[in-house]
């Protein structure tokens, strides 16, 4: 199967439809599939349920899809850096399913592993537990969380070979491997594509069986919050 596509728009061709569920890898602005997000915006698809740790910032990442009102619902963990998200949510224009960060990660992993649900202590006794099944194990109370799958997963990796085997770079790995497993179709954008056999099999973090389409992207690598200190006097 030929997996390499010339650009992000071509890689998404035939995959988008109104009301779809999209998983988008990344943490903050680290390891986000920025080219695929732009192509998703340009496709004009509407009423997206977006599963992502966060919602980007106002003019970058998933924030672009909030600007164009293409996202109907967010399933997220942290959304504090996006003022447009805040405005839409407080105005009742955007649905939010809020998750503890570890729970969100496990929901994606479970979905990719074919596990429909799991029990966790995280969130017991809080708003997170409302309406969810409670069960006791060894005298401790747990709540039932469901696994997540998506019509489309878009992820960012460092290197890939021609069959879509992926290697991530340091903390840019974050949610990407989990979400790559949980998409009915997964499209990856990478910084480098190498011939088959070049990657050390022991270093591959997402096997190519989980990746259906692949693009070579150009990446801005924007820093979400730059914190510096004043130079000390000599």
Beta-bridged to residue 60, according to DSSP, are: 57
Instruction: Write down the pTM of the prediction.
Output: 0.93
Answer whether residue 129 is part of any domain: no
> How many domains, the chain?
1
Residue 109 to residues 1, 77, 193, 197: CA-CA distances in angstroms? 26, 15, 26, 27
Helix (H, G, I), strand (E, B) or coil at 186: strand
Query: Cα–Cα distance between 83 and 104 in angstroms, integer?
Result: 22
Residues, the chain, total?
A: 234
Answer whether residue 134 is part of any domain: no
Residue that has been written with the tokens 């035939």 in this structure: 14
Answer whether residue 45 is part of any domain: yes
The domain that contains 48 carries what CATH number? 3.40.1080.10
Q: How far is CA 55 from the centre of its chain?
A: 10
DSSP at 172: G
Residue 233 confidence (pLDDT)? 67
CB atoms within 10 A of CB 2: 8
Domain that residue 157 falls in? 8-116+148-216
Query: Cα–Cα distance between 7 and 43 in angstroms, integer?
Result: 13
Answer whether residue 136 is part of any domain: no
Answer whether residue 1 is part of any domain: no
Residue 164 confidence (pLDDT)? 98
CA dihedral of residues 81, 66, 147, 166 (deg, nearest 10) = -80
Q: Tens-digit pLDDT profile for the chain (234 aa)?
A: 799 999 999 999 999 999 999 999 999 899 999 999 999 999 999 999 999 999 999 889 999 999 999 999 999 998 877 889 999 999 999 999 999 999 999 999 999 999 999 999 999 999 999 999 999 999 999 999 999 999 999 999 999 999 999 999 999 999 999 999 999 999 999 999 999 999 999 999 999 999 999 999 988 877 777 778 777 665
Ranges of H-type helices in 91-136: 101-112
Answer whether residue 221 is part of any domain: no
Answer whether residue 95 is part of any domain: yes
List phi, psi (to 5°) of 143: -115, 150
């Amino acid at each position: 199967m030929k997996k390499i596509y010339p650009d992000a728009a071509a890689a998404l061709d035939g995959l988008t439809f109104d009301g779809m569920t999209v998983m988008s890898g990344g943490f903050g602005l680290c390891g986000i599939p920025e080219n695929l997000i732009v192509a998703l915006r340009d496709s004009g698809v509407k009423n997206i349920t977006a599963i992502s740790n966060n919602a980007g910032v106002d003019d970058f990442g998933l924030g672009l899809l909030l600007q164009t009102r293409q996202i109907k619902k967010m399933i997220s963990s942290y959304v504090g850096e996006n003022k447009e998200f805040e405005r839409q949510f407080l105005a009742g224009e955007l649905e939010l399913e809020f998750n503890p960060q570890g729970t969100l990660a496990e929901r994606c992993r479970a979905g990719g592993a074919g596990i429909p649900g799991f029990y966790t202590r995280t969130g017991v006794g809080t708003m997170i537990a409302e309406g969810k099944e409670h069960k006791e194990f060894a005298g401790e109370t747990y709540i039932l969380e469901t696994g997540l799958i998506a019509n489309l997963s878009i992820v960012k990796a460092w290197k890939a070979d021609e069959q879509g085997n992926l290697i991530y770079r340091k903390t840019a790995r974050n949610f990407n491997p989990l979400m790559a497993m949980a998409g009915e179709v997964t499209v990856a954008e990478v910084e480098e594509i190498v011939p088959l056999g070049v990657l050390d099999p022991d270093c591959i973090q997402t096997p190519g069986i989980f990746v259906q389409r692949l693009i070579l992207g150009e990446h801005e690598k924007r820093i979400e919050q730059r914190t510096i200190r004043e130079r000390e006097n000599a």
